[in-house]
Amino acid sequence: MVSAQQVWAVLEPRDAVQVRDGRAFEAGGAARTRRPWPSTIAGAIGAAWGGDGQLAAVRGPVLARRDTTTGSWAPGFTVPADVVPTEGPGRVWRRLRPEPSGVITDLDEEGLLWLNAPDAGAFDEHAWWDARAMGAYLSGAELNLRRAVRTSSPVTVEHRVGIARQDRRVRDAHLYSSDFLRLRENASEQWAFAAQCSLLPGQRIPERLGPVRLGGESRLADVRVVQGLDFPPPPEVLPGGRVLVYLVTPGVWRRRGSDGEWRNTWRPSIPANARLVAAAVPSPVPVATARPDGRGGLEQARLRWAVPAGSVYLLEFTGPDPETAALAWASERHGRAWGDGEDNEDRIGRRLATAGFGLMLTGTWS
């Protein structure tokens, strides 16, 4: 056994994976197959460690690429929502910048700036780039977007048709179709789902991990701990106290209303000594979460709306020394989930954060 505080684990599916978003799967229903949610990955890795509560936190997932020649692993990230393709022919990529605008919508908050760029199109949730490009983006360095952005997704969709059976007979009118996801694998590369695991004090890595169930239909994935994976580092300087927050995974944040009830919101809790300047938040995604009940079923099943991975928030710290305050906050939160601290009074929100929802990287913006 090896003692460690934080380790990276990869899940390598043995077959195509199916994870639905939790909406109705029936005639006329809106269910869609999605990449595994943080809770799906956290549940699978937790099972490999011995069950629920065996890890302090699971931070992910990210897609990770293994170079079959060198054996090294490297993470890939959804292209940030403030980097978008242009509309029309001759598509190129633009970086959205905050600027004042006379356009007003019912979603605006007072003082928020508009993110804009010439001919800006819509967010592409399938576009991705590697850790080097993400590091340059976070540091505010000039980035050749045409070279950095990759639109050939490592995840392919397989459309399958099936039948539902009962007592070894086909049920009447129960022909159905569903989508499955397969990670790219060839002679030069292999892709897997990866997450950083924060171990409990004194905890050790089990001698044997997996295989574990991943997604629907009891499909299996192998689990192993790997070396060399890590998040790009945060900037060492944050001019003007400006902090960019990029979401690696979908974020589920809740705000208590005037009636005392918790409701999902697109806006996370902003530090008291900072203000939200602008945000690039694409359409929300429906997320289903549940816990095993110990009898082969599920309990505490919930459907929530989440801010998608790739969302970006631009913060500006205030006070007598905004750069120092920004650097302290950004350094502490980099590579952690927004809302995983004890200062979050939302107990459910804290649990979702330790399962990987709202994992963020911090950078700078101008």
pLDDT in tens, 92-135: 999 999 988 766 665 556 678 889 888 888 999 999 999 999 99
Residue 1 lies in a domain: no
* Under 8 Å between Cβ of 218 and 71: no
Beta strands 73-78 and 274-280: pairing type? unpaired
Mean pLDDT of all residues in 217-243 = 92
Let me know whether 157 and 280 are in one domain. Answer: no
Let me know whether 219 and 352 are in one domain. Answer: no
pLDDT at 209: 87
Let me know whether 248 and 122 are in one domain. Answer: yes
Nearest partner of 153 among 134, 136, 129, 133, judged by Cα: 129
Let me know whether 140 and 244 are in one domain. Answer: yes
Mean pLDDT of all residues in 33-44 = 86
Let me know whether 291 and 315 are in one domain. Answer: yes
Cα(266)–Cα(106) distance, integer angstroms: 14
Cα(282)–Cα(115) distance, integer angstroms: 12
Let me know whether 263 and 171 are in one domain. Answer: no
Residue 30 lies in a domain: yes
Could you tell me which residue, 162 or 249, shows the higher pLDDT?
249
Number of H-type helices and E-type strands within the chain = 5, 22
Residue 138 lies in a domain: yes
**Size of the chain in residues:** 366
Residue 91 lies in a domain: yes
Let me know whether 168 and 293 are in one domain. Answer: no
Reported confidence tier of residue 263, pLDDT bands at 50, 70, 90: confident
Residue 178 lies in a domain: yes
Alpha-helical segments (H) within the chain:
38-49, 131-139, 145-148, 322-333, 347-354
pLDDT at 104: 65
- State which of 163, 195, 226 marks the end of a domain: 226
- State which of 208, 226, 244 marks the end of a domain: 226
For residue range 317-329, list pLDDT tens digits in order.
998 999 999 999 9
For residue range 156-194, list pLDDT tens digits in order.
888 877 777 777 777 776 766 778 889 999 999 999 999
pLDDT at 85: 94
**Average pLDDT of the residues of the chain:** 86
Which amino acid belongs to residue 69?
Answer: T
Let me know whether 205 and 345 are in one domain. Answer: no
Residue 119 lies in a domain: yes
Nearest partner of 57 among 331, 338, 265, 301, judged by Cα: 338
Share of the chain above pLDDT 70, in %: 87
Mean pLDDT of all residues in 331-346 = 89
CATH number for the domain that contains residue 357: 3.30.70
Task: Give Cβ neighbours of residue 160 (< 8 Å, ≥ 6 apart).
Answer: 177, 178, 179, 180
Reported confidence tier of residue 22, pLDDT bands at 50, 70, 90: low
Could you list the residue range(s) of the whole structural domain that residue 14 is in?
6-77+153-226
Task: Give Cβ neighbours of residue 218 (< 8 Å, ≥ 6 apart).
Answer: none
3-state DSSP assignment of residue 343 = coil
* Under 8 Å between Cβ of 312 and 80: yes
pLDDT at 139: 96
Could you tell me which residue, 119 or 72, shows the higher pLDDT?
72
Could you tell me which residue, 34 or 332, shows the higher pLDDT?
332
Q: How far is CA 58 from CA 61, 115, 295, in A?
A: 8, 32, 25
Residue 116 phi/psi, 5-degree rounding, is: -145, 160
Task: Give Cβ neighbours of residue 328 (< 8 Å, ≥ 6 apart).
Answer: none
Beta strands 274-280 and 312-317: pairing type? antiparallel
Reported confidence tier of residue 206, pLDDT bands at 50, 70, 90: confident
Residue 85 lies in a domain: yes
Give how many domains the chain has, as a whole number. Answer: 2
Cα(307)–Cα(246) distance, integer angstroms: 11
pLDDT at 290: 66
Let me know whether 295 and 336 are in one domain. Answer: yes
Residue 199 lies in a domain: yes
Q: In what order do the strands lie in the sheet with 242-247?
A: 274-280, 312-317, 242-247, 359-363, 336-337
Let me know whether 240 and 277 are in one domain. Answer: yes
pLDDT at 297: 58
* Under 8 Å between Cβ of 274 and 243: yes
- State which of 226, 249, 269 marks the end of a domain: 226
* Under 8 Å between Cβ of 287 and 21: yes
Let me know whether 274 and 345 are in one domain. Answer: yes
Let me know whether 248 and 128 are in one domain. Answer: yes
Cα(206)–Cα(360) distance, integer angstroms: 28
